[in-house]
Chain A
Amino acid sequence: MTFLAAIGAVVLGFLASIGRVTQFGIETVSHLFRPPYYPREVGHALLQIGYFSLPVVGLTTIFTGGALALQIYAGGARFSAEAVVPQIVAIGMVRELGPVLVGLMIAARVTSSIAAEIATMKVTEQIDALVTLSTNPMKYLTLPRVLAATLVMPVLVAVGNIIGIMGGYLVGVNSLGFNAGTYIRNTIDFLEPSDIATSLAKGAVFGFLAALMGCFFGMQSGRGAQGVGRATKSAVVAASVLILAANFILTQLFFAA
C-alpha cells in the first residue's frame, strides 16, 4: 500500500510540475505582448547564448559529421552503397543530429548557466529586490533569455548543420576517396528546402525549451547552495529530456506523413 502510495505521489507530483511548467511558459510568452521591454537584456542574452556557444556547437558537430561519414561508409560497403555517404550525412545532420546535438549542448551550456544564475539571484534575494524596484522578474530575466534562445537557436543549428556536413566532407574527401566537387554537389542536390526549414524550426523549439527550463527551475530554487545545485541539475535534465521528446514529436509531425 505504501509502495502504491509512493508511486501515486510521484505521478501526481509529475503531473503538477507539468502544469506549473505550462503555466510558466504561457506567462513568459504573454509578456511578449505587454510592455515594458528590456532590449538591453535581450541583446546581452543573444550574445551569451548565441555567440559564445559557437565554439562548442562547431566542435560537437564537426566530430559527429566525421564519425557519421565513417560509419555510413563502413555500413554502406556491406551492400556496395558507399556512394551515398554525402546524401546520408546531409540528411542525418540536417534532419536529426544537427538540431538534437546543438539542442543538447545548449541544454548543457545555457540551461545550466541560466538556472544557476537565476537560482543564485533567488537565494540571495536579488529576485525580491527586483520586485521591490518595480521590475517584474519574468519580464527582466525570463523573457529576454527565452526570446533570445528561441531566436538564436535556428542560427546555431544552421551553423551546426554546415559544420557537421563539413566534417563529413573532410573525412569523405581526405580518407574515403570522394571527389570534392561530387561530394558537395550530391549534398546540395539531395537536400530539400523543407529539410532545412524543419531543422531550423526544431532549433527554435529546442531553444525555447532549454531557456524556459533554466528560468523555471532557477525561479523555483530552494534555499542555499544546495538549492542552487538542485535547480541546476533539474533544469539540465528536464531540458535534455524535453528536447529529445520534442524532437520525436516534431519528426513524427514533419516526416511521418
Chain B
Amino acid sequence: MIELRDVHKSFGPKHVLRGVDLKIEKGKSLVIIGGSGTGKSVTLKCVLGLIEADTGLVTVDGQDVTRLRQGSSERDAFLARFGMLFQGGALFDSLTVWQNVAFRLLRGSLKKTKEEAREIAVEKLRRVGLTPDVADLFPAELSGGMQKRVGLARAIAAEPEIIFFDEPTTGLDPIMSGVINELIREIVVEMGATAMTITHDMTSVRAIADDVAMLHGGKIRWTGPVSEMDSSGDPYVAQFISGSAEGPIETVR
C-alpha cells in the first residue's frame, strides 16, 4: 500500500503541492487526473524520491520512504520493486531499444544472460505493439509514440510490483491507446501489480482505473471509485470530465 500524507513541495516561490493526501491499496489501479502543471508528475517523483518533498510523509507498505538515503542499499531494494514510465520517455540514447528495455536484466541483482535478456525485451516490445525489428534501433530513430511505448516496455520489463505510468497514451493513435490501456489493465489484474497512472485521456481513465483522484490547487480535490466519478457532485471533476471551458477551473485566455 502506498500512502501520501500532507505532502508539500515548492520550487522557489512556487507552491506546487500544498498538502496531498492519497492512498493506493495493493493490487489496485489509481488514476490521477488534473490540469496541466498541477503537479501530477511531481507527485509521482516524490513517491520515488526523485524529488524530495518539503514536508509530509510518504510510506510504502508502512515504510517511510523519505528516510531512505540516496544510494543506500535499502533504497536500491525499494526502487527494485518499482517500474516507472516517464512522461518524456527518458530512454537512454546511447543504448539501443532492446538494451533500454532490458536495462535491469543486463546488470545488478536481476542479471540474466544477454540472449535471455534480449528475448524478454523483444517479448515486452511485442506487448506494447512494436515489432522485433525496432530492437536494434536507437531511440532517436523512433517516432514519439514509439519512444513512449519503448519506455513502457522498459517500465514493465522486470515485472515490478508497483508501476507508475506518466501519461502512457499521450501521443498515441486511438487504436494503440486502446492496446496500451488493455495492457495496463492486464498488468494489474494478472500480475497483481499496483499501478498509479497519470492521464488526460478520459477513455483511458475509464479503461484503467479502479480509483480516480483529481489533483487541483496542490491538493487532492476528489478521490473515489471510477464508477462514482460521473456522479461525484464536484463541479471541478465534472468540468474536467466534460472538458468544458465553463466552470470553476480557471482557463486563461
List residues of chain A with CB under 8 Å of any chain B CB. 36, 38, 121, 124-126, 128-136, 138
14 A-B interface contacts by CB (under 8 A):
A38-B107, A121-B92, A128-B50, A128-B86, A129-B86, A132-B48, A132-B79, A132-B82, A132-B84, A133-B79, A134-B76, A135-B108, A136-B76, A138-B71
Q: Is the CB of B80 closer than 8 A to any CB of chain A?
A: yes
- Residue from B88, B103, B108 in contact with A36 in the complex, judged by beta carbons closer than 8 Å: B108
Q: Shortest CB–CB separation between residue B153 and chain A, in angstroms?
A: 13
A128 touches B107 (CB 8 A): no
The size class of the interface chain B forms with chain A is 20 to 34
List residues of chain B with CB under 8 Å of any chain A CB. 45, 48, 50, 71, 76, 79-80, 82-84, 86-88, 90-93, 103-104, 107-109, 154
Q: When A132-B79, A135-B108, A138-B71 are in contact, do A126 and B91 touch as well, CB less than 8 Å? A: yes
Give every chain A residue within 8 A of B104 (Cβ-Cβ). 133-134
- Residue from A126, A128, A133, A136 in contact with B71 in the complex, judged by beta carbons closer than 8 Å: A136
Complex Cα spacing A124 to B84, Å: 14
Q: When A36-B107, A133-B104, A135-B107 are in contact, do A126 and B80 touch as well, CB less than 8 Å? A: no
- Residue from B50, B108, B109, B154 in contact with A131 in the complex, judged by beta carbons closer than 8 Å: B50
Which partner residue on chain A sits nearest B111 by CB separation? A36
Give every chain B residue within 8 A of A121 (Cβ-Cβ). 92
Q: When A132-B79, A134-B80, A138-B71 are in contact, do A126 and B108 touch as well, CB less than 8 Å? A: no
Give every chain B residue within 8 A of A126 (Cβ-Cβ). 90-93
Which partner residue on chain B sits nearest A136 by CB separation? B71
- Residue from B71, B76, B90, B109 in contact with A129 in the complex, judged by beta carbons closer than 8 Å: B90
Complex Cα spacing A128 to B76, Å: 13
